[in-house]
Amino acid sequence: MSKMIVGNWKMNGSVKLVDEFIAGLDKQVILGLPSIFIAYAHLKNPEMQIAAQDCSVFGDFGAHTGEISAKMLADVGCKYVILGHSERRKNMNSDTIDNILLKLRNVVQNKMTAILCVDENYMELLDKSISDFIKTHTNEIVIAYEPISAIGTGIIPSPDDINKSLKNIKLHINNVKTLYGGSVNTKNITEILSIPFSDGVLVGGASLNLYDINTMASYS
Q: Quick check: 183 binds ligand PGA (CB under 6 A)?
A: yes
By CB under 6 A, the count of residues binding ligand PGA is 13
Q: Quick check: 205 binds ligand PGA (CB under 6 A)?
A: yes
172 included as an active-site residue = no
Q: Please identify, using beta-carbon distances, which residue of 5 and 184 lies nearer to ligand PGA.
A: 184
CB of 88 to ligand PGA, least distance (A): 10
Neighbours of 2 (CB within 10 A): 11
Active-site annotation holder among 47, 146, 172, 191: 146
**What burial letters (b/e) apply to 32-71, b meaning 16+ CB within 10 Å?**
bbebebbbebbeebeebbbbbbbbbbbeeeeeeeeebbbb
Q: Quick check: 184 binds ligand PGA (CB under 6 A)?
A: yes
CA 153, 207, 134 angle in degrees (round to 5)? 85
Q: Is 184 left (phi over 0), alpha (psi -120 to 50) or beta?
A: beta
Considering only 34-42, 72-80, 162-170, 200-208, which stretch makes contact with ligand PGA by CB under 6 A? 200-208
Q: What is the DSSP string of 64-131?
A: -TT---HHHHHHTT--EEEE--HHHHHH-TT--HHHHHHHHHHHHHTT-EEEEEE-TTHHHHS-HHHH
Instruction: List beta partners, residue 201.
Output: 5, 180
Q: Quick check: 204 binds ligand PGA (CB under 6 A)?
A: yes
Q: Please identify, using beta-carbon distances, which residue of 53 and 110 lies nearer to ligand PGA.
A: 53
191 included as an active-site residue = no
Residues between 151 and 170 that touch ligand PGA (CB under 6 A): 151-152
| Whole-angstrom distance, CA of residue 197 vs CA of residue 200 | 9
Q: Quick check: 13 binds ligand PGA (CB under 6 A)?
A: no
CB of 25 to ligand PGA, least distance (A): 17
Q: Quick check: 147 binds ligand PGA (CB under 6 A)?
A: no
Catalytic residues: 85, 146
Interaction site with ligand PGA (CB under 6 A): 8, 146, 151-152, 181-184, 202-206
